[in-house]
């Protein structure tokens, strides 16, 4: 037989060159040791049959090698799984047969060619030895029959290959047509530099946003998908948890001014590879990749492409600073996000999205009680107005301006108009629905408000999972709030706000033990172990009343050391039932123009002072409608 050129085994995004031993994912080389290569080779050669542990031992370790075989083999298989981003619990490629061996469970395509690039053939030439004369030549008819059979076999083989390709393409097209919901998993950063994570996350974010513009395709929010960053779990499992039938995954590598990006589309229920593409661009060209990808994916799944206007020119350096700002925003570091959004605008002053997120960063500092509202009001307003002025079609700009009108301007009519515009421009952004829900609650349009909050949670159930429970608190539907928040706490036990609102819901129902338990859990989750211990001791010695008194003392003590919003102190006094001090600190909140005062009427803890003329005068000054 003639010498064969290297065979290549292709499975999913991976390609294994059997001669060189190189494993590549999306065309990028994956480091793999010799033992991992030998194990993978044996598993592939078994064609789906089990390879026993003894067979692997014979292949990998010589008889005279002294080693803890079980530990050595387990470690070698785990290293191979790491190379393939696989897991023993949810195997996508390598299945463990307990105490017996392993099996390769993925679909493999073999590519085999000779040096001429044609199908290899048997060498039928023979030679005679000196002792034995050559056999007589067969009749001509026999030669013709042999060549006829060979040609027929080649024809049949080629027909089968073509038929298989047609069938495979048909399966891919059928799978693509069944994709109606999609998750963009965090792109893997292959640069080798963790400092480039912001770039991979930023491209993931922009790709998700661009795909979500297609109304025929439901796209899971960026924050929901981001929880699977680095997760070694099977795609079908991730898709089931996110409730989608399609998954877009890939990697991005940035080196200097060049960007190499590879992506593939998977139909998750059958783990069918539908489509893949590779992009090599400079930084300027990389800016257009998300839009190109969105159009390609829409065509693959037979969904109409969006009619959005072509993206405006963005300076690559400004775009890079913007991505860094977004990265720190989602990490909860508003100070650093401000730095990078300002840097982006220094480079490109007409960057509308950067203005919108600059306004968000300023406003969030007051909304999150980091600084008094007066310290950021002017900057937040100027940035929001500039964003809308530069690009009236940008939903982020209208959402930022809606937030300013609501929290700082206390202008409910304009907040209503801007939040409605933001949702109309892009109904797939959960935060826009969340903000609009607040606006509608403040306007006493409670049915609409609840629906907006439900829509927000539907789009993004993993971030601010407490919001629907909080809405039930605003509606005074305490049993519904407990049921909702209890469910969220079971699903996401480490979310502190869920615990605090659940504690509050139990308090309204007079379930003091449950309320105290959830309060302590919330304090522990925000890192306030001392507070949790103090609250526990107070409850043991004096019950719920002692905990309420401790709450007031704690708020006042913190206010002596640093900024504490007077609204928080007013709430502490309200739980204690002290109407005089409650109204005193609500008045102080008004003088400081505290952002959350706009939702004063929706807070059930203040219901006991609604009849007080001082309270009614305060709500009139704020501009709040009378409660229903």
Distance CA 27, CA 546 (A): 65
Question: 34-45 vs 53-60: helix axis angle to the nearest 10?
Answer: 130
The band of 519, judged by pLDDT with boundaries at 50, 70 and 90, is very high
Q: Label residue 152 exposed, middle or buried (CB < 10 Å: 0-12, 13-18, 19+).
A: exposed
Q: Which of 224, 178, 187, 181 is nearest to 207 (CA)?
A: 187
Are the C-beta atoms of residues 199 and 283 closer than 8 Å to each other? no
| Residues ≥6 apart with Cβ < 8 Å to 296 | 275, 277
Are the C-beta atoms of residues 16 and 8 closer than 8 Å to each other? yes
Distance CA 484, CA 466 (A): 8
Structural domains in the chain? Answer: 8-111 (1.10.10.10), 181-300 (3.40.50.10610), 321-464 (1.25.40.10)
Residue count of the chain = 628
Tens of pLDDT along 367-420? 998 889 999 999 999 999 999 999 999 999 999 999 999 999 999 999 999 999
The band of 149, judged by pLDDT with boundaries at 50, 70 and 90, is low
Q: Residue 518's CB: how many other CB atoms inside 10 A?
A: 24
- pLDDT at res. 490: 92
Tens of pLDDT along 276-323? 788 888 877 777 888 888 888 877 776 655 544 556 788 989 999 999
Are the C-beta atoms of residues 518 and 510 closer than 8 Å to each other? no
State if pTM tops 0.75: no
Q: Which of 36-45, 72-81, 406-415, 422-431 has the lowest mean pLDDT?
A: 72-81
- pLDDT at res. 158: 57
Average confidence score pLDDT of the chain: 83
pLDDT higher than 90, residue 81: no
């Amino acid at each position: 037989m003639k010498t064969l050129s290297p065979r290549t085994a292709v499975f999913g995004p991976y390609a294994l060159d059997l001669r060189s031993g190189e494993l590549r994912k999306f065309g990028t080389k994956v480091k793999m040791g010799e033992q991992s290569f030998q194990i993978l080779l044996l598993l592939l050669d078994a064609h789906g049959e089990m390879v026993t542990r003894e067979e692997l031992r014979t292949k990998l370790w010589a008889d005279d090698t002294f080693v803890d075989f079980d530990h050595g083999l387990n470690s070698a298989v785990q290293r191979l799984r790491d190379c393939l981003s696989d897991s023993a619990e949810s195997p996508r490629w390598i299945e463990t047969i307990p105490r017996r061996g392993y099996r390769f469970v993925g679909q493999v395509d073999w590519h085999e060619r000779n040096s001429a690039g044609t199908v290899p053939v048997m060498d039928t030439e023979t030679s005679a030895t000196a002792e034995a004369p050559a056999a007589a030549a067969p009749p001509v008819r026999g030669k013709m029959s042999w060549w006829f059979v060979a040609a027929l076999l080649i024809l049949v083989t080629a027909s089968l290959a073509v038929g298989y390709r047609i069938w495979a393409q048909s399966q891919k097209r059928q799978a693509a047509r069944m994709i109606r919901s999609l998750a963009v998993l965090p792109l893997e950063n292959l640069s080798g530099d963790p400092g480039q994570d912001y770039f991979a996350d930023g491209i993931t974010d922009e790709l998700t946003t661009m795909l979500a513009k297609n109304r025929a395709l439901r796209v899971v929010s960026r924050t929901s998908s981001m929880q699977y960053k680095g997760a070694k779990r099977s795609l079908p499992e991730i898709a089931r948890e996110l409730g989608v039938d399609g998954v877009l995954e890939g990697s991005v590598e940035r080196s200097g001014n060049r960007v190499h990006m590879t992506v593939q589309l998977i139909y998750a229920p059958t783990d069918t590879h539908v489509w893949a593409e590779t992009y090599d661009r400079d930084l300027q060209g990389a800016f257009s990749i998300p839009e190109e990808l969105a159009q390609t994916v829409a065509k693959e799944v037979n969904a109409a492409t969006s009619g959005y206007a072509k993206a405006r020119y963005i300076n690559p350096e400004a775009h890079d600073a913007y991505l860094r700002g977004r990265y720190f925003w989602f990490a909860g570091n508003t100070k650093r996000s401000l730095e990078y959004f300002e840097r982006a605008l220094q480079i490109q002053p007409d960057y509308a999205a950067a203005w919108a997120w600059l306004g968000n960063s300023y406003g969030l500092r007051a909304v999150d009680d980091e600084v008094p509202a007066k310290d950021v009001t002017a900057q937040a307003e100027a940035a929001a107005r500039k964003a809308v002025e530069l690009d009236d079609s940008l939903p982020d700009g209208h959402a930022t301006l809606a937030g300013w009108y609501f929290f700082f301007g206390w202008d409910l009519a304009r907040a209503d108009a801007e939040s409605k515009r933001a949702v109309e421009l892009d109904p797939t952004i959960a935060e826009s629905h969340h903000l609009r829900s607040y606006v509608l609650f403040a306007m006493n349009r409670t049915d609409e408000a609840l629906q907006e909050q439900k829509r927000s949670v539907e789009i993004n159930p993993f971030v601010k999972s407490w919001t629907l429970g909080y809405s039930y608190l605003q509606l005074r539907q305490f049993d519904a709030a407990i049921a909702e928040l209890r469910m969220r706490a079971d699903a996401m036990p480490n979310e502190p706000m869920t615990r605090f609102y659940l504690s509050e819901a139990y308090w309204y129902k007079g379930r003091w033990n449950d309320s105290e338990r959830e309060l302590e859990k919330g304090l522990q989750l925000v890192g306030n172990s001392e507070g949790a211990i103090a609250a526990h001791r107070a409850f043991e010695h004096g019950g719920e009343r002692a905990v309420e008194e401790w709450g007031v003392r704690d708020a006042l003590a913190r206010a002596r050391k640093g900024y504490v919003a007077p609204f928080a102190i007013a709430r502490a006094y309200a739980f204690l039932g002290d109407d005089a001090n409650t109204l005193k600190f609500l008045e102080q909140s008004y003088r400081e123009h505290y952002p959350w005062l706009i939702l004063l009427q929706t807070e059930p803890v203040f219901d006991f002072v609604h009849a007080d003329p001082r309270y009614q005068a305060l709500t009139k000054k704020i501009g709040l409608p009378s409660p229903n």
